[in-house]
Amino acid sequence: MDKTTRIAVGGDRPYDVLVGRDLLDPPQLLPGAQRLAVLYAPPMRGRAEQLAERARMAGVTPLLVEVPDAEAGKHIEVAASCWERLGAAGFTRADAVVGVGGGAVTDLAGFVAACWLRGVRWVPVATSLLGMVDAAVGGKTGINTAAGKNLVGAFHPPAGVICDLAALDSLSPADLAAGMAEVIKCGFIADPVILELVERDPAVAVDPAGPVLRELIERAIRVKAQVVSGDLRESGAREILNYGHTLAHAIEKVEGYRWRHGHAVAVGLVYAATLALLEGRLDAQTAQRHRAVVGALGLPTGYRAEAWPDLLATMRVDKKARGSVLRFVVLAGLAHPTILEAPSDELLHAAYREIAE
Ligand SMILES: NC(=O)c1ccc[n+]([C@@H]2O[C@H](COP(=O)([O-])OP(=O)(O)OC[C@H]3O[C@@H](n4cnc5c(N)ncnc54)[C@H](O)[C@@H]3O)[C@@H](O)[C@H]2O)c1
Ligand SMILES: O=C(O)C(=O)C[C@@H](O)[C@H](O)[C@H](O)COP(=O)(O)O
Ligand SMILES: [Zn+2]
């Protein structure tokens, strides 16, 4: 039997992230729950049904709720339809929500739970790499709107997080690579050992059957757990987890949410490094390391030149902006994140020209 790792997340409402194989028991994390709404998208139907069966065996009544896959599920109308289902089933504050899937489904499930009766318990069962290392941990929940990515949401910590490594066996190579973008983000902002493990052999690093991926997952979760333990509501330190995301979210919006989040983050990391290099804050070697690691994972390192005006306009509604002042997370050195306040449009554009295709 494979061992389960427990990573503690602190704060006012502490919980554990469980990392292991064949973990399918959210009711254990939800004592007293009588009903569980199990939200899932079609690719994870089998896993959701298995989980529902396990809940039934534990004396808990499951309500299976299928939602559209990926970003199509992070929509107010989908959330509203979930609330209708909870209402029809008479969900009370004793009951709970479980999201089984990638980051999109767990973001939606957390948001549905955050708003129902002003907040019921929830557990994300992360099935994608990105979900395990990032989306399921930390209590940020939300949906997209016409105005932008994740602009509506709530901070609502889960009762616990389940990362079932067995799920990764069926994840596509493109989604594995997307998850690696958030893993290396953690390497650049806080844990350079992550970068060394990836650089040693990128193909081995992303192999779910190999010896390295689990260590990378646990390292990335520890970085996130440590940051959010001290700053759930992103009043300061948590902003470092947004490294690469100012441009990434703009690319996602310009692409109509058809790009993978992790792919957009990959471009955003290279952009943020270039910005810091041109501003004189980051050395050329560390900036170049971004491009090399991102490229070695088969992730994109640039974006369309002609998209710049749209990207700049979208970045102005980034959550880190204050009034008309844009703010970027940039590195002043490896594992030394800082905030770049009010960069000029000339600097922003010059950095973009370096990554434009
Ligand atoms: N809340 C947060 O802190 C946070 C952090 C990072 C990202 N996010 C959000 O997470 C989302 C991205 O998550 P993602 O990369 O997991 O994308 P995703 O949820 O869209 O999943 C990608 C695809 O993989 C499929 N999938 C998931 N698990 C699978 C498995 N085990 N086998 C086969 N297919 C599987 C999904 O059904 C989907 O088609 C974005 O919406 C992003 O904004 C949130
Ligand atoms: O948890 C955080 O904080 C992050 O910034 C992690 C990001 O990887 C994630 O994509 C998050 O959803 C972005 O948050 P947002 O507040 O910019 O929407
Ligand atoms: Zn992200």
Model confidence pLDDT, tens digit, residues 282-316: 999 999 999 999 999 999 999 999 999 999 999 99
Asked whether residue 107 is marked as a ligand-binding residue, the answer is yes
Axis-axis angle for helices 103-115, 76-89 (nearest 10): 60
- The structure tokens listed for 122 are 């929830």
Q: Candidates 3.40.50.2030, 3.40.50.1970, 3.30.2320.80, 3.30.70.270; correct CATH number of 5-170?
A: 3.40.50.1970
What is residue 24's predicted lDDT score, i.e. its pLDDT? Answer: 72
* Residue 234 CB less than 6 A away from ligand 1: no
Cα dihedral sign, 271-274-279-280 = positive
SS3 127: coil
Return the residue matching tokens 């979900």.
131
Asked whether residue 290 is marked as a ligand-binding residue, the answer is no
For 28, 44, 45, 202, 221, the CA distances from 49, given in Å and listed in that order, are 17, 9, 6, 34, 27
Q: Which atom of ligand 1 is nearest to the CA of 249?
A: 43
* Residue 138 CB less than 6 A away from ligand 1: yes
Report residue 147's pLDDT band, with 50, 70 and 90 as the boundaries: confident
- Domain limits of the chain? 5-170, 173-355
What is residue 326's predicted lDDT score, i.e. its pLDDT? Answer: 95
CATH of domain 173-355: 1.20.1090.10
Reduced DSSP (H G I as helix, E B as strand, rest coil) percent helix, strand, coil of the chain, to 5: 50, 20, 30
Tell which one of 106, 128, 134, 144 to mutate to probe ligand 2, the residue whose CB is within 8 A of the most ligand atoms.
134
Asked whether residue 207 is marked as a ligand-binding residue, the answer is no
Shortest-distance Cα residue to atom 14 of ligand 2: 242
Mean pLDDT, range 144-168, rounded to an integer? 95
- The structure tokens listed for 115 are 């708003």
38 φ/ψ angles, rounded to the nearest 5 degrees? -105, 105
What is residue 74's predicted lDDT score, i.e. its pLDDT? Answer: 97
Asked whether residue 177 is marked as a ligand-binding residue, the answer is no
- The structure tokens listed for 208 are 């779910």
Q: What is the pLDDT of residues 86-138, one digit of tens each?
A: 999 999 999 999 999 999 999 999 999 999 999 999 999 999 999 999 999 99
- The structure tokens listed for 126 are 């992360």
Return the residue matching tokens 């952009």.
271
| Rounded Cα–Cα distance for residues 214 and 205 (Å) | 9
Residue type present at position 208: P
Tell which one of 161, 241, 261 to mutate to probe ligand 2, the residue whose CB is within 8 A of the most ligand atoms.
241
SS3 19: strand
What is residue 218's predicted lDDT score, i.e. its pLDDT? Answer: 98
How many of the other CB atoms lie within 10 Å of CB of 178?
26
Q: Which ligand is nearest to the CA of 136?
A: 1
Q: Specify which residues 36 forms β-bridges with.
A: 62, 96
Q: Which ligand is nearest to the CA of 250?
A: 2
What is the value of ipTM here, to two decimals?
A: 0.99
**Mean pLDDT of all residues belonging to the chain:** 96
Asked whether residue 261 is marked as a ligand-binding residue, the answer is yes
Report residue 245's pLDDT band, with 50, 70 and 90 as the boundaries: very high
Mean pLDDT, range 227-231, rounded to an integer? 97
Q: What is the pLDDT of residues 5-57, one digit of tens each?
A: 999 999 999 999 999 998 878 778 899 999 999 999 999 999 999 999 999 99
- The structure tokens listed for 213 are 């991926």
